Amino acid sequence: MHAFLYVTPPAIALLLLFAIGELVVRGLRRHNIWLALIFLVYAFVLLRAFLLFSGWMSALPLLYEITLPANFWIGPLVYIYLRAVLDPGSPNSRALLWHLIPGLLVFPLVLPNALQPATVIGERIALAMELFDGATENIFEDPYLLLTPLALVHVAVYLGLLVRSMLLLLNLENLRRQETVRAFLAMNLIALISTASAFAGIATANRALVEFAIGLLALVVPLMYLLQKRYPDLFEILEGLMRSEREKRERYLQSQLVGVDLHSLERGLNALMDADQVYRQDDLTMPALADLLETTPHRLSEYLNAVQKTSFSDFINRRRVQAARELLVSRPQETVLSIAYDVGFNSKSAFNKAFARHAGVSPTRFRKQAGTGQDR
């Protein structure tokens, strides 16, 4: 027996404890029952795999048949639960129950086999394990053997659907900053690698590869436990992140900046400020500046608000104050009012207010601190 298989029995026991724990909580809710069902089905998936590859399935032949549908249920159950938890706007769990149909169809297919004598089931188990000795013709003797690789494909499809439903979270910012997102993605990747390894092992009759896949899938269970201990409100955290990402996407879809070359817009704006110094025009308005940039006022306003994190008036006043600071030092004989008019302000009070806001002191105090000795 491959060393990886030894982690499977503790994982099964842990899953059963998880299931019991969800059912005995105070104030039992629907999501507790749903989680208990997921843990129970997961335990059946691991139990079937462990009994088969440990050689103990022949002692419990009935489990060979009745545990097979679990392989078709685990993917849909996890997908439905996480869709309901992480995306409250999605169809409710009842509307998604059709995903369980493949597993429900498999059950009546294997039920007649489960009613056969134990010796007959034992022969079918032997045929299944002989596949790993290269006896591929056994598939023609027992077509039900095809259900196992089909179940693996089924699981892989739902893992893909699960990752797709989480795509909003899988951006560089969340992966860098959110440990919960990284851990959740890691569990999905381990399950996907396990499924791919099992499928490859069956296709190549490589028993060791399948046993490795079983052990890898079992390792997900203690990871789930540790993650639950570290983040008891894991799903609430993920749901909050999903809601935030959806709001960002909706704002972007409604944005005036879709399809706009923001770097080009920034270069044009800087050229107008630095080279042309249009901020010195005391009657400069948003529409006038937008015309110079060959864009719309709404688009320019959103660019300043969303990208530059400022308003039009603050953006222009900051430029005017920056120019005024230089002139207050370089032109010590010129009055503060004259400089105010020169950089684009149309009154001394507006200049004093803007200067204090962006420089932290009044223009007169700034000039004194600069050492010009002038206070005009």
Domain with CATH 1.10.10.60 in the chain: 262-369
Whether the pLDDT of residue 167 is over 80: the answer is: no
Sign of the Cα pseudo-torsion (160, 163, 168, 171, in order): negative
Residues 340, 58: Cα–Cα separation, whole Å: 94
Instruction: Quickly name the fold that domain 3-252 has.
Output: Rhopdopsin 7-helix transmembrane proteins (1.20.1070)
Domain with CATH 1.20.1070 in the chain: 3-252
Whether the pLDDT of residue 90 is over 80: the answer is: no
Of these ranges, 88-92, 166-170, 336-340, the one predicted with the greatest mean pLDDT is 336-340
How do residues 129-158 score in pLDDT, each as one tens digit?
887 766 666 566 777 888 888 888 998 898
How do residues 6-48 score in pLDDT, each as one tens digit?
889 999 999 999 999 889 988 888 878 888 999 999 999 999 9
Residues 126, 120: Cα–Cα separation, whole Å: 10
Residue 29 DSSP SS3: coil
Contact 325, 363 (CB under 8 A): no
Angle CA 73–8–220, to nearest 5: 65
Question: Percentage of residues in the chain with pLDDT exceeding 90?
Answer: 29
For domain 262-369, the CATH architecture is Orthogonal Bundle (1.10)
Sign of the Cα pseudo-torsion (89, 92, 98, 101, in order): positive
Res 81: pLDDT: 84
Residue 143 DSSP SS3: helix
Residue type, 57: M
Residues sharing a CB contact under 8 Å with residue 256, sequence separation 6 or more, in sequence order: 296, 298, 299, 302
Whether the model pTM is above 0.75: no
Res 82: pLDDT: 82
Res 7: pLDDT: 85
Whether the pLDDT of residue 252 is over 60: the answer is: no
Whether the pLDDT of residue 288 is over 90: the answer is: yes
Residue 135 DSSP SS3: coil
Structure tokens at 3: 């060393």
Whether the pLDDT of residue 253 is over 90: the answer is: no
Res 192: pLDDT: 87
